[in-house]
Structure 1
Amino acid sequence: MVISLDASDLALEIPNGSTIALVGFGGMGQCDKILKAIGQCYKETGKPNNLTVFHTAGQSDKSNGIEHIAEEGLITRIIGGHWGLAPKISRLIEENKIECHCWPQGQLTHLLRAMANKLPGQISPIGLGTFVDPRIEGGKINKRTKEKKDIIQVLSINHEDFLLYPSIPFDYVFIRGTSIDENGNMTTEEEPLKLEILSAAHAAKAYGGKVIAQVKYLANKQSFHPKDVVVPGYLVDAFVLVDDPETEHRQVPSTVYSPVFSGDIRTPSKSLATLPMDIRKVIGRRAVQELIPSAVVNLGIGIPGDVIGPITNEEGFNQDMTLTLESGIIGGIPIGANEFGIARNADAILDHEYLFDYYHGVGIDITFMGAAEVDKFGNVNVSKFGKRTVGCGGFIDITQSAKKVVFCTTFTSAGLEVSIENGKINIHREGNIKKFTNQVQQITFSGNYAADHYKDVIYVTERAVFILTQEGLVLTETALGIDIERDILNQMEFRPIISSDLKEMDTRIFLEQTMSRQMIRN
């Protein structure tokens, strides 16, 4: 029979200097009871300390998950993909209190499978030409980390470059499910995502690590349908049973449990509110004009995740394509903001790492992504702004492999004020920050790599559209009423190529009424 542990006893048994692996996605799937206990134990006893923490996706919605152990001295090193919603961890990174390595999220999920097979690491071209390439920054985020040796290596195989993301043996991995039986078999029926819990358990076992499960319910042995078991009992060393799901095991940040997010009921699509006509909707509407019928589509966090799904639902052509989210969601209407990664009415919910197989191997037809900075080479930064550390998440994996990339961003930021009236956009106040800059602070998307591989790359804003060529960025469209010199060129730190066939952006994207289904490209 599997062992039941109290979370505080588990925290006391973790040796100093251990490597622990966490599984979660944003505000979903974290083992909050376990992590709270570890954080509290450290505050009271000073132990465990000097931990290395490994995780794939972001692990917080600003208050839960990894934030419970965000203490100087408790963590010495972190290897992960994203900290945009983990302010305490971000502060430790920015103040050089911990060593920080940022690797692409998909590579981290696939590294778990490489470790499960006792391989030296994950080999992939993903990351070449970006900040994770050791010839650029090596994924080392702060000064403290840059003083260390490179962990990622460049390999040449058949005269082609690849990156080796090395195996990181775990002492513990914490996985979360809904129910566990007396033999340790675990199910995920109330969870909104499957994530990479099975691969993480295999990876830990390959190196003699312990697998600890956090669950809501204990069931009799042999009471589960065998197809419902996600992690078999022989992989689980012990489990922690939650006392208060409200604070220790919320399904998503907004609710303890909803059958909508676990896929147990579907809601009428017409019940969803229409998006307001604002700058984000304008950008999203122009972006969806790049869709083609039957496309397999990925949505990134930010403007894409917040508006593309609702827009395609409003326009009635969300059934003409397959929407995906990197968390494993197929179909449905995505939920954005701090619940990015889940959806209403999903058609399927896959394991996290298996959707990245498709992203890396086949490459989706089109991805919609945000952009914080764009430079004259077409490079895009979404991972670091000034001293603020965000991380790349799955951005590098997806944009480097996709057949077409559409970046969605406002033209300037920090104070931009606009109104949308009568089919045109009016700029009342420019933002204080120019997003089109001479050189991005960090290369999360390599324009040179994309141009060399003839990628189809488009940059959509509320007032202008650009495409990437081997010669640089080309301005191809402007909005009605926009003065090119005043509103575009003067708001950039470099001068783009201006197309000889410069067009006006379709005025229908600025109108309240829905657009025509003919807007999708054939």
Structure 2
Amino acid sequence: MKIISFSNLKDIINSGDVISIAALSSGNLPTEILKAIVDQHDNCNIPQDLTIMLTNDISDYRGDSYDLDSFVTRGMVKRLITSIITAAPETIRAMRNNEIEAYYLPQGVIATHYRSQTDASPGTITKIGLNTNVDPRYSGGKVNAKTTEDLVSLIEIGNQDYLKYHFPEVDVALLRGTYADTQGNIFMTHESHLGEGYSVAATTHKNNGKVIVQVKEIIQNGKFNPSEVFIPGELVDYVVVNEDPNYHRQAIQSYYDPALSGHYQITEIREPYLDLNTRKVILRRSAQLLLEGDVVSIGFGINNELSNVLIEEEADHLVQLNIDTGVFGGIIGSRDYFGMNYNLSARMRHDQTWDFIYNGGLDIAFLSFAEVDQHGNVNVSKFGDKMNGCGGFIDISQTVKTIVFSGAMVVGGQLNYDDDGVHITAQGHATKFVEAVGSMDFNAEYAQDLGQEVYFVTERAVFELTKQGLKLIEIAAGLDLERDILANMDFKPLIAEELKVMDKAMYHQQWGGLAHEIKSEYRL
């Protein structure tokens, strides 16, 4: 291991390299390394034609740092392989305009594939992604017309279909830790999550690539417990020491908060409870599908605020909420605190978290939707001007026992809530229940084959997935079936013979009924 200055990076990173970054937003992001690479390009017009591989979105929400857009706007990126992009508008524009090649592949598959790139393994072979947009019988994960190479192939083993993923070998790993000792061992002491950096470092080392780690400080060997080593020094080639705290933020909002790395416990939620609005009504109804003891996966979108509702209802102790970054238990932040997770019960490597998920560790997942069709297929990745990608949606939705898709039924609807129920003042301008989804991210027929239990919860109605298609099983109090529900769908769903009405108590400013519902014997 060598300790080098940021200026020395120009002699290590070359045009055409495949670069892997193990980060989420600004968490674990080696931002000062990115700045040094961008500065080199600005001065010398190199490196170029880079392939960037990410499991998660990396982005500078603050507007004063360096991220994926910094590379793309300079024409440095030839190919992008990731699962999700939500806050890099220039990158999305470049994908839409066919300026770069791009693939959206399942997050868990990307995170775990590094461990399969060994001489003893045939590579990544899995059922994750079958019958979705990732399957080569659809688009194979290709985002645009410029992207032509197949990274996913369909194979058969034992008369069963599998997908084989063909990832490029990594030339350079750009990673981050809190400390490096004098032997190059990396510690993640202050980081908000662990990530998949160990696996990235291991496969890069196997490829005779270069592993570069940004840290806050060099410490003496033996200062910390050896069991706290995240990446052993034998896998680390270079360490650079951060010089500007703005380029080593633990989370978007803070340089270091001990509560985010498990060194301190907060006594109360750091954000106000939600106002009574459509978002809160949807979450209240969705949460009634929980059962006591459930291990719960929280997906990106509206469900980030499920923790908020559970805490307000004094029901958070009845279930365990997890997110797929490797954070178990605790309080999952939302809004200004999105990405912040307090009072953790455990944290583990990102790739190991997917082992937990793939092996049936979850009881129920709360996911979002952009479009739903009459069969119950779901699009979450491509709609309107958005090209978000699938994130971990496909991995989770193909492994969990029970799925709750949550979201507003109509875009732009205006609704009021009182003790009598729901009152619609504007129906909205675009339905999310369509004839055919724009991207097959969840295949309803395949879910039936897997024996999954699937619900769709909106502010107006609740639907259940059946073998015959989508069935309306519940309607909000105060609404008219034809005018407020069916007229806002591009198809007519099956309708339950005994159509239930949502409990009006949900529309009270103060409810207090969720804990009782979760303790019930059946999902409601």
Q: What is aligned with 1:495?
A: 492
Q: What is aligned with 1:383?
A: 381
Contact 1:118–1:206 (Cα < 8 Å) also in 2? no
Q: What is aligned with 2:458?
A: 461
Relative to structure 2, which stretch is displaced further, 311-320 or 110-119? 110-119
User: 3-state DSSP class of the match of 2:273?
Assistant: coil
Which residue type is aligned with residue 352 of structure 2?
Y
Which among 466, 483, 488 is matched to residue 486 of structure 1? 483
Which residue type is aligned with residue 495 of structure 2?
I
Contact 2:371–2:380 (Cα < 8 Å) also in 1? yes
The structure-2 alpha-carbon separation of the partners of 1:61 and 1:431, relative to structure 1 and needing over 3 Å to count, comes to: farther
The structure-2 alpha-carbon separation of the partners of 1:61 and 1:455, relative to structure 1 and needing over 3 Å to count, comes to: farther
- How many angstroms does 1:341 deviate by? 4.2
Q: What is aligned with 1:141?
A: 143
Relative to structure 2, which stretch is displaced further, 345-354 or 65-74? 65-74
Contact 1:419–1:427 (Cα < 8 Å) also in 2? yes
The structure-2 alpha-carbon separation of the partners of 1:470 and 1:154, relative to structure 1 and needing over 3 Å to count, comes to: same
Q: What is aligned with 2:154?
A: 154
Per-residue deviation, residues 472-522 of structure 1 (Å, max 9, x unmatched): 100000011111111111111111111111000111221111332211132
- How many angstroms does 1:53 deviate by? 0.7
* 2-structure distance, mates of 1:72, 1:65: 12
Output aligned runs, 1:26-65, within 5 Å: 26-62=25-61, 63=63, 64-65=66-67
* 2-structure distance, mates of 1:293, 1:374: 29
Output aligned runs, 1:212-223, within 5 Å: 212-223=212-223
* 2-structure distance, mates of 1:128, 1:363: 21
Output aligned runs, 1:280-295, within 5 Å: 280-295=279-294
Per-residue deviation, residues 212-261 of structure 1 (Å, max 9, x unmatched): 0011111123322211211111111001111111x201110011111111
- How many angstroms does 1:363 deviate by? 4.8
Per-residue deviation, residues 135-173 of structure 1 (Å, max 9, x unmatched): 01100011111xx13220111111111111124211100
* 2-structure distance, mates of 1:450, 1:15: 44
Which residue type is aligned with residue 4 of structure 2?
L
- How many angstroms does 1:98 deviate by? 0.5
* 2-structure distance, mates of 1:175, 1:423: 55
Contact 2:419–2:505 (Cα < 8 Å) also in 1? no
The structure-2 alpha-carbon separation of the partners of 1:271 and 1:207, relative to structure 1 and needing over 3 Å to count, comes to: closer
Per-residue deviation, residues 385-430 of structure 1 (Å, max 9, x unmatched): 23431111101000111100000100111x3222212241221112
Q: What is aligned with 2:230?
A: 230
User: 3-state DSSP class of the match of 1:291?
Assistant: coil
Q: What is aligned with 1:472?
A: 469
Q: TM-score, normalised by structure 1?
A: 0.96
RMSD after superposition: 1.6
Contact 2:401–2:452 (Cα < 8 Å) also in 1? yes
Contact 2:297–2:322 (Cα < 8 Å) also in 1? yes
* 2-structure distance, mates of 1:402, 1:47: 45
Query: Does residue 273 of structure 1 match 2:272?
Result: yes
Contact 2:269–2:331 (Cα < 8 Å) also in 1? no
Q: What is aligned with 1:345?
A: 343
Query: Does residue 255 of structure 1 match 2:254?
Result: yes
User: 3-state DSSP class of the match of 2:366?
Assistant: strand
Q: What is aligned with 1:8?
A: 7
The structure-2 alpha-carbon separation of the partners of 1:208 and 1:243, relative to structure 1 and needing over 3 Å to count, comes to: same
* 2-structure distance, mates of 1:343, 1:477: 34
Which residue type is aligned with residue 228 of structure 1?
E
User: 3-state DSSP class of the match of 2:491?
Assistant: coil
The structure-2 alpha-carbon separation of the partners of 1:471 and 1:248, relative to structure 1 and needing over 3 Å to count, comes to: same
Output aligned runs, 1:39-438, within 5 Å: 39-62=38-61, 63=63, 64-71=66-73, 73-116=75-118, 119-145=121-147, 148-245=148-245, 247-269=246-268, 272-305=271-304, 307-337=305-335, 340-413=338-411, 415-438=412-435
* 1-structure distance, mates of 2:84, 2:120: 26
* 1-structure distance, mates of 2:45, 2:385: 29
* 2-structure distance, mates of 1:423, 1:266: 40
- Unaligned runs of 5+ residues in structure 2 are none
Contact 1:119–1:167 (Cα < 8 Å) also in 2? no
- How many angstroms does 1:20 deviate by? 0.5
Which residue type is aligned with residue 16 of structure 1?
S
* 2-structure distance, mates of 1:471, 1:332: 39
Which residue type is aligned with residue 159 of structure 2?
H
Which residue type is aligned with residue 177 of structure 1?
G
- How many angstroms does 1:65 deviate by? 3.0
Q: What is aligned with 1:449?
A: 446
Contact 2:25–2:252 (Cα < 8 Å) also in 1? no
Contact 1:423–1:511 (Cα < 8 Å) also in 2? no
User: 3-state DSSP class of the match of 1:240?
Assistant: strand
- How many angstroms does 1:11 deviate by? 3.5
The structure-2 alpha-carbon separation of the partners of 1:160 and 1:116, relative to structure 1 and needing over 3 Å to count, comes to: same
User: 3-state DSSP class of the match of 2:135?
Assistant: coil
Query: Does residue 22 of structure 1 match 2:21?
Result: yes
The structure-2 alpha-carbon separation of the partners of 1:33 and 1:140, relative to structure 1 and needing over 3 Å to count, comes to: same
The structure-2 alpha-carbon separation of the partners of 1:182 and 1:195, relative to structure 1 and needing over 3 Å to count, comes to: same
Query: What is the aligned length?
Result: 516
- Unaligned runs of 5+ residues in structure 1 are none
* 2-structure distance, mates of 1:353, 1:367: 18
* 2-structure distance, mates of 1:283, 1:210: 48
The structure-2 alpha-carbon separation of the partners of 1:312 and 1:95, relative to structure 1 and needing over 3 Å to count, comes to: same
Relative to structure 2, which stretch is displaced further, 11-20 or 206-215? 11-20
User: 3-state DSSP class of the match of 2:184?
Assistant: coil
Contact 1:172–1:209 (Cα < 8 Å) also in 2? yes
The structure-2 alpha-carbon separation of the partners of 1:261 and 1:268, relative to structure 1 and needing over 3 Å to count, comes to: same
Contact 1:378–1:468 (Cα < 8 Å) also in 2? yes
Over the matched positions of the two proteins, sequence identity in percent amounts to: 36
Contact 1:3–1:239 (Cα < 8 Å) also in 2? yes
Which residue type is aligned with residue 429 of structure 1?
A
- How many angstroms does 1:119 deviate by? 2.8
Contact 2:192–2:261 (Cα < 8 Å) also in 1? yes
Contact 1:12–1:41 (Cα < 8 Å) also in 2? no
- How many angstroms does 1:17 deviate by? 0.6
Contact 2:95–2:102 (Cα < 8 Å) also in 1? yes
User: 3-state DSSP class of the match of 1:230?
Assistant: strand
The structure-2 alpha-carbon separation of the partners of 1:29 and 1:338, relative to structure 1 and needing over 3 Å to count, comes to: farther
- How many angstroms does 1:44 deviate by? 2.6
User: 3-state DSSP class of the match of 2:218?
Assistant: strand
